[in-house]
């Protein structure tokens, strides 16, 4: 058969209007992690990639600055230094065995991409060029180091295109514009394990069941719980939400990264690569204020630190603009040639969206919700965990939707593009080995029942609440109460608001009753996931009474290693519509893996 975008796919059978497919491995999500997994899995097993977008529209394409690897092409470097920076940057909540794997396998990950045809920027000698990035240092923090491999400020775009071209070369089966709404679980010997997924085909409204031996989730983040975000409209946490509703745990959901340099008022990202090339953050008086906060590496401190410093400058009256509500990113001294050749996208973004030319004037910036450190818990083999140690057979996750805890409480810049390649590869490779030794798990009698009922209920609903109104209220209140700075009072306020929105969500109506490209219906389903995940983020944040990485509590401003040097594990239990989240969210803890770096004070 041929899917909605013309990509050739396997034959299917149709039973009672539902399309049934069978693949050894099904990958949910066609961004960087999903396609890297597919390149590894495709040659060894019958593989399908299911994506609600055409693959090259995935959010990986928005990543700008670079991909870290201790190649030492420009300056002396080592994987040990990269590991230390990752651990320290994550405020010591990083699982250090995962960080060591990330740093060691980074070099091969970059070389893999180069061999696939990715056009990295080059040194005059023809080697892959590298530039500075926040938190990356030599000799365990003594000075900044050039570690970020890059392709201008379009690195993610280049990675996405390169991976897609190689998937096409390998003949990977793509089901594009198919929206996965459920993972089918079957009980085997008293233990539930995945037997397939249910997807909604956007072009027809038909349901498809993909039976498989292994499933890899690579669905990205959920930044759309916030109003001011660098995330695309599609990043609504569908994969993470599906796992949550199956009563599997989520890890470290309180930790969300706010990237320092979003265009003020819009959240559109300006890469940290600009500061890597020498751009400077200034307050209204023109002061390079990061010299006060991080005297060694200044503007290249980790993102959580820079974001807090920016907000503090504004809060203390040193903000710029007519309302004194932003700071300035000064690129003017870099010159037109550097901006047009090494940073062309951010230059164009500033001109297009703010009417500011970075060549001659500073750009207004403020922190924007950027990256979820938490998500679906996995081990270093990318296997999804049912609890702290028990693996769910045949279920994998990689990329932003996963939490192997290589990022701890604050992801180091350029480690995200690295993460999707290292752990996407591991997920694909390990899934192939797994499917060689197992048979297909039988599907339940009616695998689409829950999703059919959900869609029917939304289509027939006659309520008065509008999805767009509820979504806006959620995002506005998350920005107001659970962003860079948080308190028990602000988190309690947004908890009550989320409960009210969940109640009102029961009274929504979908205006479009049709089947073909019914985005009204899909946005209603997405809002359900956003409400679920926002509640887990806030409940976990309220429970962690300390400040660490991307989680800054004004009422508990110190890091508390004695009580909170551990990961939060959240489990869905009880009635999800109860007013008190404690009635349906159970929190537990998971120890941090420490191998060589004991927690210490975080100075830059």
- Which two three-digit tokens encode residue 343? 């940073």
Task: Tell me the per-residue pLDDT of 123-169, one tens digit each, with 9 for 90 and over.
Answer: 999 999 999 999 999 999 999 999 999 999 999 999 999 999 999 99
Mean pLDDT of 429-438: 97
Domain range for 590 is 20-255+373-444+563-603
Give residue 1's pLDDT.
Answer: 40
Task: Please check the confidence at residue 85 and state whether its pLDDT lies above 60.
Answer: yes
In a domain, 426, yes or no: yes
The answer to the question of whether 31 is labelled as a binding residue is: yes
C-alpha distances in Å from residue 291, one per residue of 90, 316, 363: 21, 17, 19
In a domain, 468, yes or no: yes
The answer to the question of whether 33 is labelled as a binding residue is: yes
Let me know whether 114 and 193 are in one domain.
Answer: yes
Q: Kindly give, in sequence order, each residue whose CB lies less than 8 Å from that of residue 375, ignoring residues fewer than 6 positions away.
A: 221, 240, 250, 251, 252, 253, 397, 400, 401, 402, 403
Mean pLDDT of 97-105: 98
Q: Are 246 and 384 in contact (CB under 8 A)?
A: no
Give residue 5's pLDDT.
Answer: 40
- For 407-421, 568-582, 584-598, which range has the lowest pLDDT when averaged over its residues? 568-582
Confidence band (pLDDT; 50, 70, 90) for 4?
very low
In a domain, 8, yes or no: no
Let me know whether 283 and 355 are in one domain.
Answer: yes
Let me know whether 313 and 453 are in one domain.
Answer: no
Give residue 574's pLDDT.
Answer: 79
For residue 459, the domain's CATH number is 1.20.58.100
Alpha-carbon distance of 431 to 112, in angstroms, equals: 20
Task: Please check the confidence at residue 22 and state whether its pLDDT lies above 80.
Answer: yes
Alpha-carbon distance of 176 to 52, in angstroms, equals: 6
Let me know whether 203 and 85 are in one domain.
Answer: yes
3-state secondary structure of 391: strand
**In the listed set 367, 387, 414, which residue is the last one of a domain according to the structure?**
367
- Which two three-digit tokens encode residue 210? 């993909």
Residues assigned a catalytic role = 303
Task: Tell me the per-residue pLDDT of 249-276, one tens digit each, with 9 for 90 and over.
Answer: 999 999 999 999 999 999 999 999 899 9
How far is Cα of residue 551 from the mean position of the Cα atoms in its chain? 16
**In the listed set 317, 350, 367, which residue is the last one of a domain according to the structure?**
367
Let me know whether 579 and 431 are in one domain.
Answer: yes
Lookup result for tokens 């990715």: 118
- The DSSP code for 515 is S
- The DSSP code for 590 is E
More confident residue, 414 or 576: 414
Task: Tell me the per-residue pLDDT of 289-301, one tens digit each, with 9 for 90 and over.
Answer: 999 999 999 999 9
Let me know whether 347 and 495 are in one domain.
Answer: no
**In the listed set 367, 396, 431, which residue is the last one of a domain according to the structure?**
367
Number of domains making up the chain: 3
In a domain, 432, yes or no: yes
Let me know whether 82 and 179 are in one domain.
Answer: yes
Alpha-carbon distance of 328 to 48, in angstroms, equals: 46
Give residue 124's pLDDT.
Answer: 96
For residue 47, the domain's CATH number is 3.50.50.60
Task: Tell me the per-residue pLDDT of 300-359, one tens digit each, with 9 for 90 and over.
Answer: 999 999 999 999 999 999 999 999 999 999 999 999 999 999 999 999 999 999 999 999
H or E, element range at 524: helix 519-543
The answer to the question of whether 7 is labelled as a binding residue is: no
In a domain, 440, yes or no: yes
Q: Are 147 and 414 in contact (CB under 8 A)?
A: yes
Lookup result for tokens 């055409």: 54
Let me know whether 574 and 533 are in one domain.
Answer: no
Give residue 191's pLDDT.
Answer: 86
More confident residue, 395 or 514: 395
H or E, element range at 500: helix 488-505
In a domain, 10, yes or no: no
In a domain, 4, yes or no: no
Confidence band (pLDDT; 50, 70, 90) for 580?
confident
H or E, element range at 121: none
In a domain, 13, yes or no: no
Task: Tell me the per-residue pLDDT of 45-83, one tens digit each, with 9 for 90 and over.
Answer: 999 999 999 999 999 999 998 999 999 999 999 999 999
Alpha-carbon distance of 281 to 276, in angstroms, equals: 12
The answer to the question of whether 53 is labelled as a binding residue is: yes
Angle at 145 (CA atoms; ends 142, 146), nearest 5 degrees:
180
The answer to the question of whether 65 is labelled as a binding residue is: yes
The answer to the question of whether 60 is labelled as a binding residue is: yes
For residue 280, the domain's CATH number is 3.90.700.10
Give residue 10's pLDDT.
Answer: 52
Let me know whether 404 and 347 are in one domain.
Answer: no
User: Taking the CB of residue 426, how many other CB atoms lie within 10 A of it?
Assistant: 24
Mean pLDDT of 90-105: 98
Let me know whether 483 and 568 are in one domain.
Answer: no
Give residue 6's pLDDT.
Answer: 38
3-state secondary structure of 426: helix
Mean pLDDT of 25-33: 97
Mean pLDDT of 505-526: 94
Task: Please check the confidence at residue 3 and state whether its pLDDT lies above 60.
Answer: no
Let me know whether 70 and 190 are in one domain.
Answer: yes
Q: Are 250 and 275 in contact (CB under 8 A)?
A: no
Let me know whether 483 and 437 are in one domain.
Answer: no
Q: Are 230 and 370 in contact (CB under 8 A)?
A: yes
């Amino acid at each position: 058969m041929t899917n909605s975008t013309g990509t050739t796919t396997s034959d299917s059978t149709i039973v009672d209007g539902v399309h049934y497919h069978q693949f050894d491995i099904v990958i949910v999500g066609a961004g960087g992690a999903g396609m890297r997994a597919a390149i590894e899995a495709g040659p060894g097993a019958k593989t399908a990639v299911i994506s609600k977008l055409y693959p090259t529209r995935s959010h990986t394409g928005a990543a700008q600055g670079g991909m870290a690897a201790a190649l030492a092409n420009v300056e002396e470097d080592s994987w040990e230094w990269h590991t230390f920076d990752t651990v320290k940057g994550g405020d010591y909540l990083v699982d250090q065995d995962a960080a060591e794997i990330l740093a060691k396998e980074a070099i091969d990950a970059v070389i893999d991409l180069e061999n696939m045809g990715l056009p990295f920027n080059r040194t005059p000698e023809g080697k892959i060029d590298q530039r500075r990035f926040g938190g990356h240092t030599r000799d365990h923090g003594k000075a900044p180091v050039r570690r970020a491999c890059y392709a201008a400020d379009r690195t993610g775009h280049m990675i996405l295109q390169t991976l897609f071209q190689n998937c096409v070369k390998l003949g990977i089966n793509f089901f594009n514009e198919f929206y996965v709404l459920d993972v089918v679980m079957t009980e085997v010997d008293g233990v539930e394990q995945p037997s397939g997924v249910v997807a909604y085909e956007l072009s027809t409204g038909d349901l498809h069941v993909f039976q498989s031996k292994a499933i890899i989730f690579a669905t990205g983040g959920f930044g759309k719980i916030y109003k001011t975000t660098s995330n695309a409209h599609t990043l609504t946490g569908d994969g993470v939400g599906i796992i949550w509703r199956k009563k599997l745990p989520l890890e470290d959901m309180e930790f969300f990264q706010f990237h320092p340099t979003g265009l003020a008022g819009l959240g559109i990202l300006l890469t940290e690569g600009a500061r890597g090339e020498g751009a400077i953050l200034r307050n209204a008086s023109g002061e390079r204020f990061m010299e006060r906060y991080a005297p060694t590496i200044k503007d290249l401190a980790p993102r959580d630190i820079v974001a807090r410093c920016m907000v503090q400058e504004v809060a203390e009256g040193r903000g710029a603009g007519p309302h004194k509500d932003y700071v300035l990113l000064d690129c003017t001294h870099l010159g037109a040639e550097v901006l047009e050749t090494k940073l062309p996208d951010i230059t164009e973004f500033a001109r297009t969206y703010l009417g500011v030319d970075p060549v001659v004037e500073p750009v207004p910036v403020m922190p924007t919700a950027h990256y979820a450190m938490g998500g679906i818990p996995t081990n270093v083999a990318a296997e999804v965990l049912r609890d702290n140690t028990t693996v769910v057979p045949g279920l994998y996750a990689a990329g932003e939707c996963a939490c192997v805890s290589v990022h701890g409480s604050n992801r180091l810049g350029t480690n995200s593009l690295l993460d999707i390649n290292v752990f996407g590869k591991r997920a694909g490779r390990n899934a192939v080995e797994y499917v060689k030794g197992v048979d297909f798990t039988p599907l339940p009698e009616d695998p689409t029942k829950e999703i059919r009922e959900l869609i029917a209920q939304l289509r027939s609903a006659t309520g008065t609440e509008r999805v767009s109104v509820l979504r806006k209220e959620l995002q506005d209140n998350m920005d107001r109460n659970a962003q860079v700075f948080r308190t028990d009072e602000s988190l309690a306020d947004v908890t009550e608001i989320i409960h009210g929105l969940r109640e009102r969500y029961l009274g929504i109506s979908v205006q479009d009753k049709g089947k073909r490209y019914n985005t009204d219906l899909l946005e209603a389903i997405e809002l359900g996931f956003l409400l679920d995940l926002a509640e887990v983020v806030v409940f976990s944040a309220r429970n962690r009474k300390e400040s660490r990485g991307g989680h800054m509590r004004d009422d508990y401003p110190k890091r508390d290693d004695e009580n909170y040097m551990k990961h939060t594990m959240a489990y869905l239990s009880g009635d999800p519509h109860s007013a008190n989240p404690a009635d349906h969210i159970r929190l537990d803890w998971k120890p941090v893996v420490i191998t060589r770096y004991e927690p210490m004070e975080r100075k830059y």
